Amino acid sequence: MSNITNPDPGAGIIAEHEALIQFMYLAPVGLVQADMQGVIAMINPISAQLLMPLAPQACLNNLFDALEGVAPELRHLCASFTAPSGMVCEGRHIVLHHGGRARIERGTPEVLSISLLKLDAARLMAVISDVTEQVRRERQLKQADAWLNAILTNITDYAVVSLDRDGHVSAWNDTIGRVTRFGQDVVGQPYSVFFPEGGTTDARQVDRLREALADGWNLEEGPRRRADGSQFWGSAMIAPLPDNGALQEGEIDSAYCMILRDISDKHAAGAAAHSATFSDALTGVSNRRAFFDAASKELGRRRQSPRATSLVVFDTDHLKSINQRLGAAAGDQVLRQLAARLRATFRDVDVVARMGGNQFAVLLPSTDLAGALIVAERVRVQVAAQEPAPDGSVLAFTVSAGVAEMDDDANELTALMARAEQAMRRAKQQGRNQVAHWTPADHFQLPDLISPL
């Protein structure tokens, strides 16, 4: 077939080169090669299309300079990327227009996506694209998803609640009235208004908004409260609404959409199975598994945004002798009584669990040592004050408790548990029926000086 090859081999290469150049010109995505300081060596037209409106002084010599106004972190991100090569960032979103812009020009991108690949010490490849439409579609899909969930699941009803940046209800509608019985005056209130008292904390409310921003959504089930104080089992999905640029006349500033569903029926059906897995069979409080699940979630949130977290460990006093005197059923009765007392005293947001034997633990989110001590002492006093019933349905007993607060030295659950247990052992040593809090001196106590029973 050599008879049809180009008689001038140089012409073939030139044509190929030109075709390659055109291929690069027309690639519908921005491509940039720069050094690690951002100095641009190669750049294709879409990059210029996207970057020129951002670049200061109509200059595209440096990628980081061009993006300084909208993504100043890129320079640092690259500088601190110490591996010899690899992805510095992938699909990182750069929001170009925040609210307040009077008029968004037609076709002007609002969100760019940038990926940076470090090739070696001297070369960086960037892929830049306009993902405005994609972000808009995702936003619509997210809303559609939440709606579909609300509609397809077997539910009693749902409320669509728009929240502002701080998690305050930004508008009222019929669905809110129907599901929660709240009226117009709910506008401006934090969404914790839908929780029963003690069902959440300020920090937890902020956590959920942050998680929704980071993951695209946040789903949580639990007891919720209507305006008249009655409760239902609710499922609440919160999804962030991307910044939509300038507000239109009369438009409400909403940063999140919350779909609140009343799934009381569904919950009743699933509750038995759930309780078998996550509850202690004897006392009905959480079991170890549920405790460690919930605690590790709370500690994860604490790492994201530090706050006080405390733990109380309760231990019944002299249970062994109760068992010996009155029989094992009486011992079980004591444990059930204590569990009921703990549930009545602590908030819904606190995790009350039977850790085994006669030991219970309670994790208190957003609570410092002083706060935890007060509640632990309240439990101790109430337990000690309980009058025994002549028929044996209520028994007299006492508890000892140890309290510890998380700090930099005890920032893992096991360390916190160890401290609370050390304090509890000291309470026992000092005569039982008392609450002790951990002090550094407890470190030097021998662990098993006394029988835990």
Binding footprint of other proteins on the chain (CB under 8 A): 17-18, 21-22, 24-26, 28, 40, 42-50, 52-53, 55, 57-61, 105-108
Q: Name which of 108 and 149 has its Cβ closer to other proteins.
A: 108
Minimum CB distance to other proteins, residue 176 (Å): 41
Q: Name which of 27 and 193 has its Cβ closer to other proteins.
A: 27
Q: Name which of 22 and 445 has its Cβ closer to other proteins.
A: 22
Show the 3-state SS of the chain.
CHHHCCCCHHHHHHHHHHHHHHHHHHCCCEEEEECCCCEEEEECHHHHHHHCCCCHHHCCCEHHHHHCCCCCHHHHHHHCCCCCCEEEEEEEEEECCCCCCCCCCCCCCCEEEEEEEEEECCEEEEEEEECHHHHHHHHHHHHHHHHHHHHHCCCCEEEEEEECCCCEECCCCHHHHHHHCCCHHHCCCEHHHHCCCCCCCHHHHHHHHHHHHHHCCEEEEEEEECCCCCEEEEEEEEEECCCCCCCCCCCCCCCEEEEEEECHHHHHHHHHHHHHHHECCCCCCECHHHHHHHHHHHHHHHHHCCCCEEEEEEEECCHHHHHHHHCHHHHHHHHHHHHHHHHHHCCCCCEEEEEECCEEEEEEECCCHHHHHHHHHHHHHHHHHCCCCCCCCCCCCCEEEEEEECCCCCCCHHHHHHHHHHHHHHHHHCCCCCEEECCHHHHHCCCCCCCCC
Q: Name which of 18 and 407 has its Cβ closer to other proteins.
A: 18
Q: Name which of 62 and 333 has its Cβ closer to other proteins.
A: 62
Minimum CB distance to other proteins, residue 63 (Å): 10
Minimum CB distance to other proteins, residue 175 (Å): 40
Minimum CB distance to other proteins, residue 174 (Å): 42
Q: Name which of 59 and 151 has its Cβ closer to other proteins.
A: 59
Minimum CB distance to other proteins, residue 53 (Å): 6
Q: Name which of 42 and 141 has its Cβ closer to other proteins.
A: 42
Minimum CB distance to other proteins, residue 48 (Å): 4
Minimum CB distance to other proteins, residue 8 (Å): 15
Minimum CB distance to other proteins, residue 101 (Å): 13
Q: Name which of 64 and 256 has its Cβ closer to other proteins.
A: 64
